[in-house]
Amino acid sequence: MSALADYGIEPTPLVRLERLAPPGIHLFAKCEWHLPTGSVKDRVAAGMIAAAKAAGQLAPGLRLVEPSSGNTGIALARITRLLGIPLTVLVPDNVSEERIRLLQAFGAEIEFTPGSEGSNGAVWRAEKLAEEGGFLMLHQYENAANPGSHQMTTGPEISAQLAELGLGAPDAFVATLGTGGTLTGVGRHFRGLGSPTAIVAAEPPTGELISGLRSLADGYVPPVFDPSVLDGKILVRTRTSIDMTRRLMEEEGLFVGPSSGAAVHAALKFARRLTPGAVVVTLLPDAGWKYLSTGIFDGTIDEAEARALGRTLW
Amino acid sequence: MPATVSIPTVLRPHAGGARRLEAGGATVGEVFDEIARLHPRLGQQLLSAEGGLPVFVNVFVDDEDIRYLEGLATPVGDRTEITILPAVAGG
C-alpha cells in the first residue's frame, strides 16, 4: 500500500515502450494520469497536505494560496475541497483553457499572472503575497514534502514494479524538470539504495518567454530542486516535445501531454549512450485531454508548433 | 567553422541586439572568452568573478547542459550549437 493511500495515491502502471525503444534498450514509462486528478501532481499535493496536517498547520478558517501552472492547483483543489479549506491558485494567464475550467470545477479561486513570465511569474507573485501573510502557502517550489512525496511513493513503486519483472534498479531515470521535485525525490530514493542509476532532467526552453528578466541572475532555481542528484540535463524544445507527444499516440497508443513527449525525447537521447540490455525508466506526467484546445494534436507539426509558442505548456 | 551561440532575449542588448553570435574556440570556455572580448558586458553575464558559470546561467552544447558534461572545458566541435538560457521553473 502507498504511503499516501489515505489521499487516494495508489501505484500507477509502469508500461513498456516497445516501439519507440532503441534496439536492446528496455524503456519503461510511469503512467501518472492514473492518479485521481490525472497528473503526477496528486502525489505532491497529497504529500504537502499530509505534512501540513502532521505539523498542525491546517487550522479552521485557513485559506491556502499556491502558485501553479495548473496541475498542482487542480490536485490541491480536490483535497482541500474534501477538507473544507478554501484555495486560491496563482496561474499564468496563457495556460490551456481546460486547466482553468478544471480548477474552477474543483472549486478553486484563480488569480492570473502574466503569461509572458511563465511559471516564474506565478512564483514571484506568490513570494510578494507571502510577505503580506494571512494565509498558508504550501509552496511546491520550496516544500520538502514535494520531493518527499516522490521519495515515498514514485521511487519505491518503480523499484517494486521492476523487481516484479525480474529487473534490478534502472540504469537511468529521466523526468521533466519543473519544480525539480520528481527528479530530486526519485533520485534520493535510488541514491539511498546505493544504486548507480543516472538521474537525467528534461528541461523546457521557456527562457525565451521570460521578458520580465533583466539579466540571467533574475532566473529561478527552485529551493526543492537538489541539482547534486542529477547526472545530466537535456534541453527539449517545444517543437520536439510536441512531435514526440504525437509519436507516442501514433506508435505506442498513449494519449499524453507535451511534457510526456519531452521526457521520452530526453530518455531516448540519453539511452543512445547506454549499452544493450540497459533499463531506462521515464515518467509521463499527464494525459492529453487538458491540451486539446492548444491544438498540439491538430494539423501539421509546423501548425501545432506555431499555435503552442508563447504558451505555458508545463 | 566557429561555434554558433544563441543569445536569450534578456542578453541581446549586451550583444548589440544579436540573436546569435559566432565565435571560435576548442572549448565552451574559449568560445566565451572570445565572446567576452567582442562584447565585454555580455561576458560579465556569462562568467562569474571566479571565472566559472554563474548559478542562474544554463549553457547547453547540442542541447545537453555542460554542468553535467565537462563544464566550461566541454569540447566544442565544428558548427557546435551552444544555447544559453536563464534557469526557469515549471509545475
**Count of CB pairs separated by less than 8 Å, A with B:** 118
In this structure, the answer to whether residues A164 and A266 fall within a common structural domain is yes
Q: Does some domain include residue B10?
A: yes
Residues of A in contact with B10 (CB under 8 A): 210-211, 213-216, 218
* Pairing relationship of beta strands A198-203 and A232-235 according to DSSP bridges: parallel
Q: Say yes or no: A95 and A117 in one domain.
A: yes
Beta carbons of B63 and A235 less than 8 Å apart:
yes
List, edge to edge, every strand of the sheet that includes A64-67. Answer: A64-67, A87-92, A109-113
Which of A71, A216, A311 to probe by mutation at the B interface, max B CB count within 10 Å?
Answer: A216
DSSP label at residue A266? H
Kindly calculate the radius of gyration of chain B based on its CA atoms and give it in whole angstroms. Answer: 12
What CATH number has the domain bearing residue B48? 3.10.20.30
How much is the pLDDT for B89? 65
Number of domains into which chain B is organized: 1
Which of A132, A161, A179 represents a domain boundary (last residue)? A132
Domain hosting A112: range is: 41-132
Q: Residue A147: inside a domain, yes or no? A: no
In-domain check, residue A144: no
Could you tell me if residue A90 is inside a domain?
yes
Domain membership flag for residue A121? yes
If one counts the domains in chain A, the total is: 2
% of chain A surpassing 70 pLDDT: 94
d(CA A262, CA A177): 10
Q: Residue A169 in 3-state DSSP?
A: coil
Angle, vertex CA A13, rays to CA A40 and CA A183, nearest 5: 40
**Is the Cβ of B52 closer than 8 Å to some Cβ of chain A?**
no
pLDDT at A210 exceeding the cut of 70: no
Residues A239 and A127 in one domain: no
Pairwise CA distance, residues A82 & A7, whole Å? 10
Cell numbers 523487481: residue:
A163
- Lowest mean pLDDT, pick from A151-155, A243-247, B43-47, B69-73: B43-47
Q: A281 with A264: CB under 8 angstroms?
A: no
pLDDT at A131: 86
Given an 8 Å threshold on Cβ–Cβ distance, is A233 in contact with B67? Answer: yes
Q: Which residues of B touch A311 (CB under 8 A)?
A: none
B90 Cβ under 8 Å from any chain A Cβ: yes
Q: How far apart are CA B17 and CA B11, in angstroms?
A: 8
Is residue A201 within 8 A of residue A177, CB to CB? The reply is yes
pLDDT at A187: 98
Question: Would residue A217 count as lying in a domain?
Answer: yes
Distance from CA of A41 to the nearest CA of B (A): 8
Backbone angles phi, psi at A242, to 5 degrees: -65, -40
- The CA-atom distances, in angstroms, between A209 and each of A111, A122, A309, B63 are 20, 14, 9, 18
* All three cell numbers of B82: 551552444
In a domain, A157, yes or no: yes
Residue of B nearest to A232 (CA): B68
B14 belongs to a structural domain: yes
C-alpha cell at A253: 497508443
Q: Is residue B42 part of a domain?
A: yes
Contact state of B60 with A176 under an 8 Å Cβ cutoff: no
Question: Do residue A124 and residue A16 come from a single domain?
Answer: no
User: Where is average pLDDT lowest: A34-48, A90-104, A159-173?
Assistant: A90-104
Residue pair B65/A232 in contact (Cβ under 8 Å)? The answer is yes
State the complex-level ipTM: 0.88
Q: Are residues A110 and A30 in the same domain?
A: no
Closest-CA residue to B82 (of B14, B2, B3): B3
The verdict on residue B28 lying in a domain is: yes
CA A168 to chain centre: 25
Residue B58 is inside which H or E element, if any? Answer: strand B57-61
Which chain A residue has the Cα nearest residue B64?
A234
Which of A179, A211, A235 is the closest to B83 by Cβ?
A235
Minimal CA separation from A192 to chain B, in Å: 21
pLDDT digits (tens, 9 = 90+) for A216-238: 666 788 899 998 999 999 999 98
pLDDT, tens digit (0-9, with 9 covering 90-100), for A77-122:
999 999 999 999 999 998 888 999 999 999 999 999 998 888 888 9
- Chain B environment of A210 (Cβ under 8 Å): 9-10, 86, 88
Q: What is the pLDDT of residue A277?
A: 96
pLDDT band at B91 (very low <50, low <70, confident <90, very high): low
Nearest to B10 among A118, A213, A312 (CB): A213
User: Which among A208, A220, A234 has the least Cβ separation from residue B87?
Assistant: A220
Position A221 in a domain: yes
CB-CB neighbors (< 8 A) of A149 in chain B: none
Statement to judge: residues A281 and A226 lie in one domain = yes
Q: Which of A50-64, A123-137, A146-160 has the lowest mean pLDDT?
A: A123-137
Nearest to A67 by CA among A43, A95, A106: A95
Residues of A carrying an active site annotation: 41, 259
B67 neighbourhood in chain A, CB within 8 Å: 227, 233
Q: What is d(CA A292, CA A76) in angstroms, rounded to the nearest whole number?
A: 23
Q: Do A120 and A199 share a domain, yes or no? A: no
Using one digit for the tens of pLDDT, what is the confidence trace for A282-304? 999 999 999 998 899 998 999 88
The reported pLDDT for the residue numbered A118 is 81
Q: What is the CATH classification number for the domain harbouring A11?
A: 3.40.50.1100
Find chain A residues with C-beta within 8 A of B90's C-beta.
69, 118-119, 176-179, 204, 206, 259, 312, 314
Q: What is the pTM of this model?
A: 0.92
Residues A234 and A202 placed together within one structural domain of the fold: yes
Does B86 sit within 8 Å of A210, measured CB to CB?
yes
Q: With CA atoms as reference, report the closest residue to A209 among B88, B58, B91.
A: B88
Q: Is residue B73 part of a domain?
A: yes
Question: Does B50 map to a domain?
Answer: yes
A253 and A122 housed in the same domain = no
Of all residues in chain B, the one with the smallest CA distance to A66 is B91
What distance in Å separates residue B16's CA from the closest CA in chain A? 15
In a domain, A145, yes or no: no
Domain that holds residue B73: 3-86
Same structural domain, A189 and A51: no
Residue B52, domain member (yes or no): yes
pLDDT digits (tens, 9 = 90+) for B24-73: 999 999 999 999 999 999 998 888 878 788 888 899 999 999 999 999 99
- Residue B91 resides in a domain: no
